[in-house]
Structure 1
Amino acid sequence: MIALAASARALRVFQVVWVIGFLVGTTTHTADLIVGGVNAYSDFPLGVRLFWVSLAFLDPATAALIIF
């Protein structure tokens, strides 16, 4: 039983670290979009720009999926 409790605790810590990481990513990408608009990543090819802009929406969705 003790090993199971420690395993569950380790899993919860792992989830919290991942959620914090995705929320930091959300903050970073949102700040980039606020400061630079959709042209924040204008030095990169279109596919890369679309990917980085989409992370402003995908990061919080991923964090929510991890939580729930």
Structure 2
Amino acid sequence: IIKPLTHIFNQSVNQAQVPDKLKSSKVIPIYKKKERSLPGNYRPISLLSIFDKLLEKLIKKDFTHF
């Protein structure tokens, strides 16, 4: 699995584009404060795939090194 992922990640960085499949996430509401019945008292959290998190860490590492 490492070779295909490396290929996808390298292409993504070289073309400055993230594959559409990695752009999707699951959004869940997290309670903040006060009344639980009011929608404004929740904040959205995006749950990303592990592959998107890996790509994000690699890009962050490159930017930090740069």
Q: What TM-score range do you get, normalising by the shorter chain? A: under 0.3
TM-score scaled by length of structure 1? 0.26
* Greater percentage in strand: 2
TM-score scaled by length of structure 2? 0.27
Task: With a CA cutoff of 8 Å and minimum separation of 6, indicate the structure with the bigger relative contact order.
Answer: 1
* Greater percentage in helix: 1
